[in-house]
A and B are shown apart, each in its own frame.
Chain A
Amino acid sequence: MQKIAELIKKEAESLLKENKVTAVWAWQPGEFYYDNSPVCFTAPEQLDKLVYNEFCPSNLGKYLMAGSKKNETMAVFAKPCDTYGINQLIKDHRIKRELITVIGIPCSGMIDIKKIKNQGVKGIISVSVSGDDVIVTTAYGDKNFKKSEVLLAKCMSCKGSDYMIADKELGEKMEVKCQKLNPEDGVKKLEAMTSQERFAFWQQELSKCIRCNACRDICPACSCEQCIFDNQEAAVAGKASANTAEEQMFHIIRAYHVAGRCVGCGECARVCPQGIQLGLLNTKFAKDINEFYGKYQPGADDDSKAPLVDYKFDDVEPTISAKGVR
């Protein structure tokens, strides 16, 4: 991955130095090797902070929205799974295609630090990855892991190494080598439940929700300027609910809103601080849509007609009543 990181840095440098773009989205390191953050670089001098390693799971596509509104030219480094989300944002007219430069970067899977920590690993001082070997140096001694066994759930159901959109591709494509997970397996378990069991399952699962909105904020399909759940007057902003039905409704409503446009990037489930199995919910919707309307992968392109909704520029914009309803 270090070689790719070097290629990314070089590419970012040339893009900024030649003024091809004013902003480059990539990652910068944190304190512990595993806590990289998305960052927007605006000058070549900042690039010595650029990093790309096995801990760069974030889909950077959504960050392009703000710049697109201001007509800024931007470049983004996108792993194959990220490109689906970027296509969806373009299709939903949230990012202007002509403003962005998508650089495809290969990925062999991102590590889930939680999987390592859940095995009792504490006091991590550094992590080094070589092939399938992960050496975690801690204040309590070194611990070894196999990368293929500690990947993020979304990486275990990797959709492949092809980029759905890329102006340029860096390096050689890579495959994720691991025991693959079929997200529909979890859904089949749900479908095998009785409706009472399923109801109880979701009630339990969704009541963990703390309404942090991280899932909504990271989702490429959730891009409304004014989200219904931010409307104070609709009284579902959920600062504190009188009963947990509101949390459950939030997820079900959101799943319906993104149905047919959810690209299956797995970010919602990854970012949830409560570990709610959001992937299950959205995969179930996707599975049903494939069965009802024919197989369709949102985000595979930026112009095909989606099974349920398409957004056009001349759609009526709902006016949000300033007075509210009481």
Chain B
Amino acid sequence: MLKINKAKWAELFAALSAQGTLYLPAEVDGKVDFTVWQDGTEVNLQATQTAKSIKNVFFPQIENLLDFKTDGLKLSVEQRMLPEEDTIAFGVRGCDVCSFEVLDKVFLKEPVDAFYKARREHCTIVSLACSAPDETCFCGTFAIDATNPGGDVTTWLVGDDLFWQANTDKGKELTEKIQALLAEGDEAGVNAQQKATKEIMAKLPLADFKIDPKIPAEQEKVFNSAIWKQLSDSCLSCCACTYVCPTCHCYDVRDFEIDNKVERFRCWDSCMCKDFTKMAAVNPRVSRLERFRQRYMHKLVYFPENNEGTFACVGCGRCLQKCPVSLNIVKVAKALGVAKDV
């Protein structure tokens, strides 16, 4: 176990940013969000969570894929360069680290999404263990250990010291490059913090929130539940939940005409939007109830069915914080009897 004192963090960030574009949580517009580090960035490692997830490092909100050029009857297509930039995602909480595994199951499944893969391979994840969980956190429901969040390197903030442990080859490679800044550290402080944090988590309102893994067998019953109407009636379909969710990955592919070429890009989309499934003749999900149901069935039932029981949720709690009418996956799961409050 290595460590680095607060006094040297500015040097640490400078050294890391020399190895790649460094993303870390910082004060931005009155909120804490992942941003590219520069000299003078107000880094914030105390905030339990960033307002938005860091999925845009691998899956940007807008990604230009290719360009078309027409010349009479001729058409040419040129794929954009795959991202080659090395990046470091620093200060990623356990929930967000696990969200990458959910996204991997989508984008790295055959046929592989080359853009996602390139970004993923070029990124070193430096996670940050939690020590002050919030009431909206429920990563424990998905067996995520917030006190040992994984990633290529795991860090723990204990007092003024940042403890540092490389886990993977990528992590070890990065550690070697900044070795000079790190000193030997004693695990005792880390262990004590992990214990204290787990004790806090046990007191939180969602500590006993469990999602029933046997759901696929009762899929039809859940799908046809009368509860969907009452739940979806209050929903505004604003899609704020989709936007902040680290595992939501639906996207649209659109064309944009500019100058004398056409850019084809991909952008975030939400299954809750009105036109998501609209076709020329018919829209299979024409009502809000159907779209609302689809999002939660996908996260709680269909995705786990296709992915060995992994839910498309990591318990980060952002939807609990952002929904204008306080709807969220916890309420849905409980209302449907999908969840068990032990």
* Chains A and B touch each other in the complex, with CB atoms below 8 Å apart: yes
- Cα–Cα, bound, A139→B173 (Å): 39
Are B239 and A212 touching (Cβ within 8 A)?
yes
Does A171 interact with chain B (Cβ within 8 Å)? no
- Kindly list chain A residues whose C-beta atoms are within 8 Å of the C-beta of B133: 122-123, 139
Are B238 and A36 touching (Cβ within 8 A)?
no
Does B121 interact with chain A (Cβ within 8 Å)? no
Residue in A35, A40, A240, A274 whose beta carbon sits within 8 Å of that of B267 in the complex: A240
- Cα–Cα, bound, A40→B238 (Å): 19
Most buried by A among B62, B239, B258: B239
State whether A40 and B48 are in contact (beta carbons under 8 Å apart), knowing that A122-B133, A240-B62, A270-B324 are contacts in the complex: no
Does A21 interact with chain B (Cβ within 8 Å)? no
Does A252 interact with chain B (Cβ within 8 Å)? no
- Cα–Cα, bound, A63→B265 (Å): 36
Are A37 and B132 touching (Cβ within 8 A)?
no
Residue in B30, B244, B320, B324 whose beta carbon sits within 8 Å of that of A271 in the complex: B324
Main secondary structure of the interface of B (DSSP, over half): loop
**Nearest CB in chain B: distance from A104 CB, A:** 21
Residue in B29, B51, B135, B244 whose beta carbon sits within 8 Å of that of A125 in the complex: B135
Most buried by A among B136, B258, B324, B327: B324
Residue in B48, B205, B322, B324 whose beta carbon sits within 8 Å of that of A122 in the complex: B48
**Nearest CB in chain B: distance from A97 CB, A:** 21
List which A211-257 residues lie within 8 A (CB) of chain B.
212-214, 217-218, 230, 232, 237, 239-240, 242
Main secondary structure of the interface of A (DSSP, over half): loop
Are A140 and B254 touching (Cβ within 8 A)?
no
Are A125 and B268 touching (Cβ within 8 A)?
no
- Cα–Cα, bound, A275→B236 (Å): 18
**Nearest CB in chain A: distance from B338 CB, A:** 15
Does A73 interact with chain B (Cβ within 8 Å)? no
Are B327 and A37 touching (Cβ within 8 A)?
yes
Mask of B258-298 contacts with A, CB within 8 angstroms, 1/0? 10000001011100001100000000000000000000000
Are A38 and B325 touching (Cβ within 8 A)?
yes
Are A239 and B254 touching (Cβ within 8 A)?
yes
Does A31 interact with chain B (Cβ within 8 Å)? yes
- Cα–Cα, bound, A282→B265 (Å): 34
Give the nearest-CB partner of B29 in chain A: A208
Residue in B31, B230, B268 whose beta carbon sits within 8 Å of that of A275 in the complex: B31
Does A187 interact with chain B (Cβ within 8 Å)? no
List which B19-35 residues lie within 8 A (CB) of chain A.
29-31
**Nearest CB in chain A: distance from B243 CB, A:** 5
- Cα–Cα, bound, A66→B287 (Å): 11
- Kindly list chain B residues whose C-beta atoms are within 8 Å of the C-beta of A35: 320, 326, 328
- Cα–Cα, bound, A63→B135 (Å): 29
Does A293 interact with chain B (Cβ within 8 Å)? no
* Number of chain B interface residues as a range: 35 or more
Q: What is the size, in residues, of chain A's interface with B at 8 Å between Cβ atoms?
A: 38
State whether A63 and B233 are in contact (beta carbons under 8 Å apart), knowing that A37-B325, A230-B275, A240-B268 are contacts in the complex: yes
Does B256 interact with chain A (Cβ within 8 Å)? yes
Are A123 and B238 touching (Cβ within 8 A)?
no
State whether A214 and B236 are in contact (beta carbons under 8 Å apart), knowing that A31-B331, A275-B30 are contacts in the complex: yes
Are A40 and B233 touching (Cβ within 8 A)?
yes
Give the nearest-CB partner of B135 in chain A: A124
- Cα–Cα, bound, A185→B321 (Å): 29
Does A39 interact with chain B (Cβ within 8 Å)? yes
**Nearest CB in chain B: distance from A76 CB, A:** 13
**Nearest CB in chain A: distance from B245 CB, A:** 12
- Cα–Cα, bound, A36→B267 (Å): 32
**Nearest CB in chain B: distance from A254 CB, A:** 14
Does B206 interact with chain A (Cβ within 8 Å)? yes
State whether A31 and B29 are in contact (beta carbons under 8 Å apart), knowing that A38-B325, A239-B252, A240-B62 are contacts in the complex: no
- Kindly list chain A residues whose C-beta atoms are within 8 Å of the C-beta of B135: 31-32, 122-125, 138-139
Most buried by B among A37, A237, A240: A240
Give the nearest-CB partner of B62 in chain A: A240
Does B109 interact with chain A (Cβ within 8 Å)? no
Does A283 interact with chain B (Cβ within 8 Å)? no
Known: A213-B237, A214-B324, A274-B29. 17 other contacts (CB 8 A): A30-B326, A38-B234, A40-B230, A58-B325, A123-B200, A139-B200, A139-B204, A208-B29, A214-B236, A214-B240, A239-B252, A239-B268, A270-B324, A271-B236, A273-B324, A275-B30, A275-B31
Question: Nearest 7 pairs between A and B by C-beta?
Answer: A240-B267, A271-B324, A214-B238, A217-B236, A35-B326, A240-B62, A212-B240
Q: What are 13 sample pairs from A and B whose C-beta atoms fall under 8 A apart?
A: A31-B135, A35-B320, A35-B328, A36-B326, A123-B204, A125-B203, A213-B239, A214-B236, A214-B240, A214-B324, A230-B275, A232-B275, A239-B252
